[in-house]
Amino acid sequence: MKKLLFILAISAAATISAQTTQKLTANKLNEYGLIYNLPVTAVDVTVEAEHTIKTPGEFRLYAKKYLGIEPIMEPVEEWSVKNVQLSTRGIANQREDYLMQLKNGSNTFIMIADNGCLLSVNNDLAMPPAKPTKPAPVKLQPSILTTPVAAQAVTQDMLQATSVAKKAQLAAAKIYELRQSRNDIISGNADQMPSDGDAMKLVLENLEQQEAVLTAMFTGTVQNGTSVRTYTFVPDSLGTSEVVARVSVTNGPVSINDLSGMPIYLNIKVDSRGELPKNEKGETKKYPKGALAYCVPGQATFTAVMNGNVLASLSTEVAQFGVVFGLDPALFTDKKTPAYAIFDPATGAIREFGTRNSR
């Protein structure tokens, strides 16, 4: 099998069109020869990176004094790997076309994908490609100090205070006042109790939000968001370890050529290789003339590793670690019981085989 090794990077936000199929029937126009491709197996490495922004609060120097907590002291903005997913799919090996040669008068047909890969023979129902669930990116959360309740939490005395120390003292006093008000409502000792349960819920939520705003002025704020990027890697027939993705501490997922990003390696372990079928005598079968080509895939384990830590692992069949063999085209042209076959779109392997009358 020819060596095929390349890496592509695609945005997870890109729109992927649904797979379409085409029916090809053997007839005089194509001289009863049907042309198609077999797939090579690609590995999609989907990286979910988390973006974190830590911002010190205005009253950070007084956090331990008034609230007894450790605040954020220095601004920090960084990216880290949150999750990695591995999945496979088939892409057409455009370097090799295959021809299924049939006899004159044959009504045999094949279904091919929009990339030219064989999906089925004498069967309109092709095996659907796997569609793994990928995480959606999350927008960076706004700081609580920019929300409308922030203006409500800051008192007039805090605004008029001429020093940070005085503002911090007033903010701490307001926090304890809010806590006392909440306790009074919960215990039923408030001078003015909410009229019903819904009103109580709204009042308590407002008090909690004001306390959170004032507390953030001491502790600082943490904002989080995520970015998702999928890198596609097509292993060669040998099985190697390759850099398949990079994540920068400052920029998140970047191109694999951007050396500012820490590399994510994909280690490839070939567990078994596909073998040509043998007859009853243990002899390797001969490739039938004008045969319908299919793949006998091998098995491999892919492991995504970063800084020596395993991020994800996947054991799966891989076309490149297998061999190509063929089915006698006469099987599909029998007038009484023509055969049908359905193939795996990721590997080109036979997934279902039988006769049309037996279904």
pLDDT value for 3:
32
Q: How far is the C-alpha of 15 from the C-alpha of 256, rounded, in Å?
A: 22
pLDDT value for 318:
96
> Nearest-CA neighbor of 235 among 324, 305, 315, 300?
300
**What stretches of the chain adopt beta strand conformation (E)?**
6-11, 21-25, 33-36, 39-55, 76-92, 98-101, 109-113, 118-121, 221-234, 241-248, 252-254, 262-272, 292-306, 309-327, 339-343, 350-355
Q: How far is the C-alpha of 308 from the C-alpha of 306, rounded, in Å?
A: 5
pLDDT value for 126:
78
pLDDT value for 357:
66
pLDDT value for 19:
57
**In contact, 224 and 43? CB cutoff 8 Å:** no
Q: How far is the C-alpha of 254 from the C-alpha of 251, rounded, in Å?
A: 7
pLDDT value for 7:
37
pLDDT value for 271:
95
Which residues of the chain are modeled with pLDDT < 50?
Answer: 1-18, 358-359
Helix (H, G, I), strand (E, B) or coil at 308: coil
**DSSP H helical segments within the chain, as ranges?**
63-66, 148-153, 156-160, 164-187, 197-219
Q: Which two tokens stand for residue 279?
A: 């007859």
pLDDT value for 174:
94
